[in-house]
Amino acid sequence: MQSDEIVKSQGLPQGFVWGAVKAGIKASGNADVAIAVAAKGANGAAMFTKNQVVAAPVTVGRRHMASTGGRVGVVLVNAGNANCATGQPGVDACVQTCVAAAERFHCIFDEVFPSSTGIIGVPFPSEKVVAALPELEQEMGATPEHADSFARAIMTTDTKMKVARALVDVDGVEVRIFGVAKGAGMIHPQLGAPVGPAHATMLVYLFTDIAAESEQLRGVLEPAVERSFNSISIDGDTSTNDTVLLLASGASGVKLDARTQEPFANALKLVCGSLAYQIVDDGEGVGHVVTLHITGARTEAEAKQVAKAIAHSPLCKTAWSSADPNWGRLLAAAGYSGVVFDPALVNITIGSQPVFELGVRSAAFQESAAHAEMQARDYTITMDLGLGEAECRFLTCDLTEEYVRINADYST
């Protein structure tokens, strides 16, 4: 680590360096191990998949966060092997990489936060990760190029890297947030606080230089995740490795307190919202990104339940792929969501086009106009249930032949 080169990089939070190298894990030969180091450490909050089946790095990550109270010195990510369904040997291999990284970067072994993404069930090549550490130490830095290299190395089926930034100006001092994500298939994150069993081909790392305790960070992370990563679905498949990690170095000197709470939380939501959108937009075979805006619900939870039923309906999603304003399928999907409602109170619009009003097809329904709006890559379907004031926005996409081709490509 070249400490005399840690400059105040434009837009990047202070207190971190990033790097990536090729360790020979990805079959493609691309860079596949990424590292982020907080030289003076960072406080963190993490959320993990609720899938019962969890990968070794999720088990180890949870354990580490619990034992350090959220203190993190190093984030160590590999792509190409998910280290999942690898039994105790997989957990041991993960711990080995943490121990080696702690030694090299001068922190305690459980201050190393590990992540993996890639193929399930193949023994984890920890020796390759360990062997890559000296080169990583040389490669790390605080420039935008360094940060981007981290973002690229964690990709698997993504076609592009996913980053987002925001900053909050507090009396002339910039507090910055830099977010990185990966994820293109097996996307229906159901992240929770790290207790109990856990899903993830979605990895998200949020770096900030605000000064905050881990408990405070949990308090801002959970609502940001709920409205972003927990409100998207590509294919309804919730993975075994999903992880969101928020790290605060404190290097800006600005504290997270009653005054800075709201602007910081809003900036975090912007970053998370942007990354969540990029994940869906880059989904396997995606032709259309569709926002389901469910309104007039009794509770936000019920609104989301309706949205999920629609987002997971193959009949709705195939209709979107051909820009077919088939509202009957939307209505039927909402109808089997498990939420009690009366179709006679429901109104549906596709983009600006009314299609269904109070139990019957809208008198103003114009099929060609609705079809035209659905040709856009990105549009919103609004369904008002007429039962209350609660609502939610849920981001999803169409189901295409391309998705099937990609995922039926044996052996992937």
From the list 18, 109, 178, 327, which residue makes contact with a copy of itself (rule: CB under 8 A)?
327
Our CB check for a copy of itself shows the closer of 19 and 283 to be 283
Please give the Cα distance from 74 to 16 (Å, whole number).
9
Instruction: Considering only the stretches 164-172, 221-229, 271-279, 329-337, report the one whose residues sit in contact with a copy of itself under the rule CB under 8 A.
Output: 329-337
| Core vs surface per residue 316-341: b (16+ CB within 10 A) or e | bbbbbbebebbbebbbbbbeebebeb
Pairing of strands 33-49, 112-119: unpaired
Active-site residue identified among 201, 243, 260, 382: 201
From the list 71, 128, 188, 308, which residue makes contact with a copy of itself (rule: CB under 8 A)?
188
185 binds a copy of itself (CB under 8 A): yes
List, as residue ranges, the binding site for substrate: 156, 182, 201, 284, 407, 412
Place of tokens 């600005």: 254
Residues in the chain: 412
191 binds a copy of itself (CB under 8 A): no
From the list 11, 24, 144, 343, which residue makes contact with a copy of itself (rule: CB under 8 A)?
343
Our CB check for a copy of itself shows the closer of 255 and 371 to be 371
Which residues are within 8 A (CB) of 395 and not within 5 positions of it... i.e. 6 or more apart? 231, 232, 233, 276, 277, 280, 289, 290, 291, 292
What are the angstrom distances between the C-alpha of 55 and each of 1, 61, 205, 258, 289? 30, 10, 18, 37, 29
> Amino acid identity, residue 20?
A
371 binds a copy of itself (CB under 8 A): yes
Pairing of strands 353-357, 347-350: antiparallel
404 binds a copy of itself (CB under 8 A): yes
HEC states along 366-412?
CHHHHHHHCCCCEEEEEEECCCCCEEEEEEEECCCHHHHHHHCCCCC
- CA nearest neighbour of 83 among 134, 49, 120: 120
368 binds a copy of itself (CB under 8 A): no
Instruction: Considering only the stretches 173-181, 222-230, 271-279, 404-412, report the one whose residues sit in contact with a copy of itself under the rule CB under 8 A.
Output: 404-412
116 binds a copy of itself (CB under 8 A): no
* Helices 314-321, 327-335: crossing angle, 10 deg rounding: 160
From the list 11, 63, 108, 119, which residue makes contact with a copy of itself (rule: CB under 8 A)?
119
Instruction: Considering only the stretches 11-19, 32-40, 61-69, 236-244, report the one whose residues sit in contact with a copy of itself under the rule CB under 8 A.
Output: 236-244
Determine whether 260 is an active site residue. Answer: no
308 binds a copy of itself (CB under 8 A): no
Least distance in Å: CB of 314 to a copy of itself?
A: 4
Catalog residues that contact a copy of itself under the rule CB under 8 A.
Answer: 50-53, 84-87, 119-121, 185-186, 188, 190, 197, 199, 235-240, 312-315, 318-319, 321-324, 326-329, 331-337, 339-344, 356, 359-361, 367, 371, 399-401, 403-405, 407-412
Show which residues are catalytic.
201
